[in-house]
Structure 1
Amino acid sequence: MKCPPTSRAELAQLAMMLEVTAYPKPGNVDRCHDYEDTRLEHFLASVIACRPTLDVVGRGELSIGAAIYDAVVRTNCHLGGNTHFGAFILLMPLIAGGDIPGALRLIKETTVHDAVLFYQAFAETQVRVIESDGLDVNDPDSIEQIRRDQLTLLDVMAYSAPKDMICREWVEGFPLTRRFADRLHDAGGGAKAISPLFIGLMAKEMDTFIAKKFNAEVAEEAMAMAQEVLGGRRTVESMDEECIRRGINPGSLADITIAGIYLALTEGWQWDR
């Protein structure tokens, strides 16, 4: 049966749904386990709640900073805390730009106002930050510094990129997003490829969310566990159990996975084969 055309907003929602329901996805909420304060239904509620923002962004009627802020406000409709903040940072320019080159063009056009809205979005979330960062999202003076120094949203991302892999995607041209999408294409159709590709990404890239939540050593432990799974020295189930027990959740890699799934979907990848 031939399906009607699918909008970018619908593909973004589909990407978010496919990521959170993929299993096993060590350390993160999925269809088989929740965290005490954040459950699968919180993620699915956010997928639904952000649709108006995605529609407007897809029509090019909202700036990137305003889109991130609007999506965060809309998805604070539950008690599950932050679910998709990092994903919105990656998705909004991709949706608005149509592809990576288009996204990078729009990123270069971001403004001081976009940067201010981005920082205000933090006030609506419980996103973890590094306390030693000079531009402290919990400090109102940071917004004044942004205005005083005329920092655009791209400037802010470049400032944070050394310690945040989501910000690095903006600065470096979405390399991990591109890699994940390419791997999905190489694997052929079917959402079953998401979980092993996610574990493969964990094995090669240190998740900066884990580093912020704990420290770099724990983030490296997570990488080592994923490498053991790929090498057949450990089961993915035992890794998942340990990560859940210790609260080690690779949230930044999950956000990049969403962006990669979205990009692949826009390029014709078939998730349901």
Structure 2
Amino acid sequence: MNRAERAQMAMMLEVCAYPKPGNVDRCHDYPDTRLEHFLASAILAGPVFDAAEKTGGRVGSLIREAVLRTNDHAGGNTHFGAFILLIPLVLGGDIGGARRVVAGTDVEDAIDFYAAFGLTRVRMAESDDLDVNDPASTAAIRERGMTLADIMAYSAPRDMVAREWTNGFALTRRCADLLHSHGSGREAVGASFLDLLASVPDTFIAKKHGEAVAERTMQCAGEVLGGARDLRAFDAECVSAGINPGSIADITIAGIYVALGEGWQWDC
């Protein structure tokens, strides 16, 4: 399959895997966001990925276009973080290429990204002084000459998806390696997701519930891996409390994309 198809496949395989503690999957939805919304996003984003592969383009404008296209359903933001990772990967082909794409971003990419951000309902940290809803932030970005890579570096201490842009897609690489080690099929996706969840606090959880909850969720995932906690019971607890590791999901999508390009098999 080509790069655009791999990106769509990665989005679909991630959401269909079960169980992924706390997240929408084939067995449970959230009240306002359902499995169908995630699958719709994967389909609606197809032309953006196709354009990125065939004609290239600017990272910021492609992310903005992906958000615009996937706002057509009522499920809210489903894949903003995934687009931040997938667009450079599709443009560059692999992690090495994505690093070069990131290094080549400019101020216009940053402005387009902030426009895309403003179209979502992504939770922001209270300390963020570049507010996507404040026109003065755009002026500040221009005055400071901030590239999109600079924006990600600014956000990296509080956002693990942005951190992938600053650390060379390290967790994306790790997720791909985990998929290879866990074998083929959807069980490998769930196992890789859990491994990541047990190794690093999810910053989406931290923004929504606080850092202590993110740390505790990571510890509980480790207890599942160690056999001290039941996986499905942990999943039910997370869903009941609205604790959804959305950033880990985004990185899992990027890891699936990379693994697919390396020959990982999904259809066993």
TM-score by length of structure 1 reads: 0.96
Which of 248, 252, 261 is residue 257 of structure 1 equivalent to? 252
Deviation at 1:136, TM superposition (A): 1.8
Give the aligned CA root-mean-square deviation in angstroms: 0.8
Deviation at 1:88, TM superposition (A): 0.2
Q: How far apart, in 2, do the equivalents of 1:188 and 1:235 lie?
A: 22
Aligned residue number for residue 9 of structure 1: 4
Which of 181, 186, 191 is residue 196 of structure 1 equivalent to? 191
Q: How far apart, in 2, do the equivalents of 1:69 and 1:86 lie?
A: 12
Deviation at 1:128, TM superposition (A): 0.7
Q: How far apart, in 2, do the equivalents of 1:227 and 1:241 lie?
A: 16
Q: How far apart, in 2, do the equivalents of 1:197 and 1:106 lie?
A: 26
Deviation at 1:259, TM superposition (A): 0.1
Q: How many corresponding residue pairs?
A: 268
Q: How far apart, in 1, do the equivalents of 2:36 and 2:182 lie?
A: 29
Q: Retained in 1: the 8 A contact 2:21–2:231?
A: yes
Aligned residue number for residue 92 of structure 1: 87
Aligned residue number for residue 164 of structure 1: 159
Aligned residue number for residue 15 of structure 2: 20
User: What letter corresponds to residue 38 of structure 1 in structure 2?
Assistant: T
1:183 aligns with 2:175: no
TM-score by length of structure 2 reads: 0.98
What runs of 5+ residues in structure 2 fail to find an aligned partner? none
Which of 123, 126, 138 is residue 128 of structure 1 equivalent to? 123
Query: Where in structure 2 are the equivalents of 1:51-66 lying within 5 Å?
Result: 51-66=46-61
Q: How far apart, in 2, do the equivalents of 1:166 and 1:225 lie?
A: 22
Aligned residue number for residue 76 of structure 2: 81
Deviation at 1:123, TM superposition (A): 1.5
Aligned residue number for residue 266 of structure 1: 261
Deviation at 1:61, TM superposition (A): 2.8
Q: Retained in 1: the 8 A contact 2:182–2:192?
A: no
Q: How far apart, in 2, do the equivalents of 1:162 and 1:60 lie?
A: 33
Aligned residue number for residue 220 of structure 2: 225
Aligned residue number for residue 3 of structure 1: none
Deviation at 1:213, TM superposition (A): 0.7
Identity of aligned residues (%): 61
User: What letter corresponds to residue 139 of structure 2 in structure 1?
Assistant: E
Q: How far apart, in 2, do the equivalents of 1:85 and 1:215 lie?
A: 21
SS in 1 for 2:139: helix
Aligned residue number for residue 62 of structure 2: 67
Deviation at 1:196, TM superposition (A): 1.4
Which of 199, 205, 209 is residue 210 of structure 1 equivalent to? 205
What runs of 5+ residues in structure 1 fail to find an aligned partner? 1-5
Q: How far apart, in 1, do the equivalents of 2:265 and 2:226 lie?
A: 28
